[in-house]
Amino acid sequence: MRMKKLLTLLAVGLATLSWAQEMPIVHDPVVIKQDNTYHLFCTGRGISHFVSTDLKSWEKLDPVFKEKPIWTDEVVPDFKNYIWAPDVLQQNGTYYLFYSISAFGKNTSAIGLVTNTTLNPSDENYKWEDQGIIVQSVPDRDMWNAIDPNIIFDENGTPWMAFGSFWNGLKMVKLSTDLKSIAHPEEWQTIAKRERSFNLVDSDPGDAALEAPFIFKKGDYFYLFLSWDYCCRGENSTYKVVVGRSKSATGPFVDAQGKALNQGGGTLVIEGNKNWSGVGHNSAYSFDGKDYYFSHAYDAKNNGAPKLVVKEITWFDGWPTVEPMD
């Protein structure tokens, strides 16, 4: 029995190691399925693009932007084409890929949009066409940060963009019906916020760090996932994912204890451990009758490399749960 148990543990360990080795290095993954292929877009030079047919083995394709969008130097001088935190959706035969540019640690930022009629590079119609800026944040003018976009349609089919990090919280703004601009008259919401224990410093959010909103519709509720604490510090990253829900796409969102997310609430979904740190910047989708969680996590056994995390979501009393990190 002891030998059988040892062999079982060894098999589990090898499977975990294999999973860690196979998963690509990514930050901030979002996923969409076209035909039988999953397309993953994430932070990277020109926006990284991966494909898979099974959510396990991934192939890296050419980036979305071979050259940086022509408008980016106006927002971030001498921008290096390292584009952050995209969001992808399909609407009326067009694929919309929203993306972020920013100076690190500042709200010198903007969210742009690029579109395509197909995600298959072998298709003769494959061509990314940039649509320019959707929203921009400027230091000393805005107390919010124009990064980490996520698009959701409300109960009436109206599009909204959730976005933001740090500063005075995560925001939501109504979009025009073509998804290419902010709707007028403008409508804004603060959907999540954590109170600071000291005055704002431009490059240090202190104990109020939060970012990366993602809203997932399930049944009667819209679930707002977001990441607390710090990304991008390798093994020292402290990211974790929390969630709240609302029957309205624009909130207010509350956690399982009834505390509003715009008053510091949030129910824990997943966090790191000794093997994996900084689990966060997630997205969530339904594919073929199953609900999936995607994010990155830093692999302590691989010098803190950010690896893709894919887990099935299960639901308990109306709340999303995922298996802890191995």
Residues with active-site annotation: 28, 211
Q: How far apart are CA 124 and CA 218, in angstroms?
A: 36
Q: How far apart are CA 191 and CA 163, in angstroms?
A: 9
Q: How far apart are CA 32 and CA 30, in angstroms?
A: 7
Q: Which helix (H) or strand (E) holds 203?
A: none
Q: How far apart are CA 132 and CA 241, in angstroms?
A: 30
Residue listed under structure tokens 């980016």 = 72
What number of other Cβ atoms are within 10 A of residue 250's Cβ?
20
Could you tell me the two tokens for 22? 């196979």
Amino acid identity at 242: V
Strand runs (DSSP E) across 120-209, as ranges?
A: 129-137, 150-153, 159-163, 170-174, 188-192
Alpha helices in 58-167 (DSSP H): none
> Would you call 215 helix, strand, or coil by DSSP?
strand
Chain centre distance of CA 118: 22
Of 169, 191, 30, residue with least CA distance to 99: 30
Amino acid identity at 224: L
Q: Do the Cβ atoms of 198 and 218 come closer than 8 Å? A: no
Could you tell me the two tokens for 166? 């740090």
Amino acid identity at 147: I
Question: DSSP states of 21-43 as a string?
Answer: HHSPB-SS-EEEEETTEEEEEES
